[in-house]
Amino acid sequence: MFNSDIKLILFDLDNTLYNFNEKWDIGTYHTFKASKLTDGIQFEDFIVEYKKNDKYYWELHHKGEIDLDAVRRLRFIKTLQFFGKKANVGESDEYFQAFISKVLDLIKPDETVNRFLKELSNHYKIGILTNGKVKEQSIKINNLELDTIIPESHIFVSEKIGYDKPNEKAFLTVLNDFKLEPREVIYVGDSWDNDVIGAKKVGIKPIWIDINSSKITDHEIDTYSNIHDFIKHWNQVLQS
């Protein structure tokens, strides 16, 4: 067994237990094509500016300067302004709702992941700690059929607990709820800042799902290219 001290293996959701980026790209393209607000703009030009604004406003959100709704509105409004077009808050919200509806429809169960989690749950407690809104994250979890494997009491969404990763209080909330010490927990996530650094700050062992093939190197951090790569290794661990 990997480590007899480990009692809980905690997972991030988006881009960890499934590929959110892939769904984001498809959802963004389809929403752009279906919207009259983007008429006259080439998608190839739009996506460059949109991703630039997305990154900028997410950074402000991580600093606590704006909330998640502002990120979603401003990245679209500012992108349209770049192309000499306008959208008000209501129109921006409608655009986002069309986008997120498409994304959620694309999320399906991964039998390999679910089979692994069921086996893992025979050896450890398992849970999810994710940033986001409760309604959206719950739909994702249901669409992935993770709700049939992970108890609702083991799922922690930032909107509900009141703290976003990498805030230490997000991780401490989980530790307190399970009445565990940091050394008894492993956290698996894709974000270097939110997941790896966030977990390390409170003494939790992080495992990194580096889906973007980052140039960051830390030989102390177990790193995998995707969840299936991680599963291959851990299946060997569980069988040892």
Q: How far is Cα 135 from Cα 37, in angstroms, rounded to an integer?
A: 27
pLDDT of residue 113: 98
**Per-residue 3-state assignment (H helix, E strand, C coil) for 122-179:** CCCEEEEEECCCHHHHHHHHHHCCHHHCCCHHHEEEHHHHCCCCCCHHHHHHHHHHHC
pLDDT digits (tens, 9 = 90+) for 166-179: 999 999 999 999 99
- Decide if domain 8-18+109-239 falls under CATH 1.10.3720.10: no
CATH architecture, domain 21-106:
Orthogonal Bundle (1.10)
| Parts of the chain belonging to CATH 1.10.150 | 21-106
Percent helix, strand, coil in the chain, to 5, is: 60, 10, 30
pLDDT digits (tens, 9 = 90+) for 51-85: 999 999 999 998 899 999 999 999 999 999 999 99
pLDDT of residue 1: 44
Query: Rounded to whole angstroms, what are the CA distances from 125 to 46, 119, 212?
Result: 44, 11, 28
> 112-121, 165-174, 205-214, 229-238: which has the minimum mean pLDDT?
229-238
Model confidence band, residue 240 (pLDDT cutoffs 50, 70, 90) = low
Select the more confidently predicted residue: 189 or 63.
189
CB count, 10 Å around CB of 47?
A: 17
pLDDT digits (tens, 9 = 90+) for 81-128: 999 999 999 999 999 999 999 999 999 999 999 999 999 999 999 999
What counts of helices (H) and strands (E) characterise the chain?
10, 6
pLDDT over 90 for what percent of the chain?
Answer: 89
Query: Rounded to whole angstroms, what are the CA distances from 166 to 42, 158, 218?
Result: 36, 10, 18
pLDDT of residue 67: 95
pLDDT over 70 for what percent of the chain?
Answer: 98
Q: How far is Cα 183 from Cα 6, in angstroms, rounded to an integer?
A: 7
| pTM tops 0.75 | yes
Q: How far is Cα 29 from Cα 40, in angstroms, rounded to an integer?
A: 15
Q: How far is Cα 75 from Cα 58, in angstroms, rounded to an integer?
A: 9
**Assigned token pair, 137:** 């994250």
| Parts of the chain belonging to CATH 3.40.50.1000 | 8-18+109-239
Tell me what the pLDDT averaged over the chain comes to: 95
